[in-house]
Structure 1
């Protein structure tokens, strides 16, 4: 509701593309945003007061001026100019995301903003149109490699779909990997052929086959809100 009130400052007919975020304890808190999104009507007002949201805009799809109208086919640089003009006199919580065409500035943002919960940077072509349902940009996320102990798998043993992993500190929660690439799945399946099955377990809402094995894999651990673990190879 706080974003709806803020949206009343926009000119009628404006359509923006962006994301609702919550700033908490000097960083973006995606869990708080998800909690607010799933809240009941009764809790919504209290949560809005405790954890106010912001709407971060990165594009404009429809301009309120009938002479401009649908601007998705226009170059990104032109849409960016429209966006800044439309938001010039609009106060937070609605605001435009920072953007630059200076590579050094972009690298500085990438290297220094991670502690604030920023997932990474997005690169767009200056002359690109806005293509609905198609990704016309590249997201460069922060990620680190780590070793993980295999606890089990989903799908058939010969060609597992996902691995269930113990990553980092011993005793931490079991994590489900992203879907394995076909070639890697076949190699993992062969390595797991002799592992003893302990039984069925659940991790992150998914059922999996628990096995006794000392297999360790290398994972690419995303630092974004979803924290996806991509298995890159067997150790």
Structure 2
């Protein structure tokens, strides 16, 4: 009877692998307060790009809200995440700071870097910071079923020794301090507050709440619908998302304002073999012509539904 060698042991795998469906927030009109016997957490909502960081056994992967893997776009954050324990999964927002405030157009330019060389150059010119607001897993442990209060404590213990560019977002359970943040922080590019129940698990869907300072927001133009220099509508990427949406038809004034700006943009090289599509306000797939993500517009939402009308108000002119 011959002895058998024991099977080779495989390295432990983290409990979560991309893609992971993310938790979202529904917009509320006023600052919520906790009913008796419960407590709420209030966090600043940064004007950035939603990103999950997966520290796998032998690599780092980064997932956008849509599920798209965009690790190559953020080599600086990939390097910063390597000291994390294998199995760590963070949820948060990528921001780029410029002139003392967050710059949404800059972070979108980073997210849509088309090549490794461009991504490396942008990482040097526009270094990214990561504002982590949740810890979904660590080691072999899936933390999503735990209450937010416990996940938050584990997140703080994990990131505090590391420091920038990986940092936990500020959080308070004091509604008066939250109200002060709401009034003061827009000066640095914070668009509002996200409110969570302390006993809440992490699950997909709009179970968090969000209080915005204004329905006017900045969006990055990633494509045009119709003639390139006089489009009928725009393909836009909004803060916190990476899936383009089609705007409502443009006004005559906005089309005229965009004309010269679009003329100065280079055509994408190489041009796509097939035009991409995005959803319009009624959920129809509309083809658009991609352009470099170098233009920012101010938009206003006419509804809180995900694919509601997004009206372009004006072109943002850089300072």
Shorter-normalised TM range: 0.5 to 0.7
Superimposed CA distance per residue, residues 118-177 of structure 1 (whole angstroms, 9 cap, x where no aligned partner): 11100001110000x3121001111168xxxxxxx99xxxxxxx85465999x7569xxx
Other-structure match for 2:154: 82
**Is this contact kept in 1: 2:89–2:137, CA < 8 A?**
yes
**Is this contact kept in 1: 2:215–2:301, CA < 8 A?**
no
Other-structure match for 2:51: none
Superimposed CA distance per residue, residues 84-142 of structure 1 (whole angstroms, 9 cap, x where no aligned partner): 011121121000000000001111111111121111100001110000x3121001111
Aligned-residue offset at 1:15? 0.7
**2:118 is equivalent to residue 46 of structure 1:** no
Q: Of 135, 138, 143, which residue of structure 1 is paired with 2:206?
A: 135
Aligned-residue offset at 1:226? 7.2
Looking at structure 1, the residues matched to 253 and 173 of structure 2 have their Cα atoms a distance apart, in angstroms, of 37
Q: Of 176, 179, 182, which residue of structure 2 is paired with 1:104?
A: 176
**2:185 is equivalent to residue 113 of structure 1:** yes
Structure 2 residues not aligned, in runs of 5+: 1-74, 217-231, 234-246, 260-279, 283-287, 290-296, 305-319
Aligned-residue offset at 1:227? 3.1
**Is this contact kept in 1: 2:103–2:189, CA < 8 A?**
yes
State the TM-score, normalized to the length of structure 2.
Answer: 0.48
Other-structure match for 2:166: 94
Q: How many residues align?
A: 172
Higher share of residues assigned helix = 1
Other-structure match for 2:35: none
Give the alignment of 1:15-54 within 5 angstroms.
15-39=89-113, 40-54=115-129
Gap change, CA 1:165 and 1:129, over 3 Å in 2: same
Aligned-residue offset at 1:228? 3.1
Structure 1 residues not aligned, in runs of 5+: 146-152, 155-161, 181-204, 207-224
**Is this contact kept in 2: 1:166–1:172, CA < 8 A?**
no
Give the alignment of 1:159-174 within 5 angstroms.
164=249, 166=251
Rg (Cα) greater in structure = 1
**Is this contact kept in 2: 1:18–1:56, CA < 8 A?**
yes
**Is this contact kept in 1: 2:96–2:128, CA < 8 A?**
yes
Query: Which deviates more, 5-14 or 122-131?
Result: 5-14
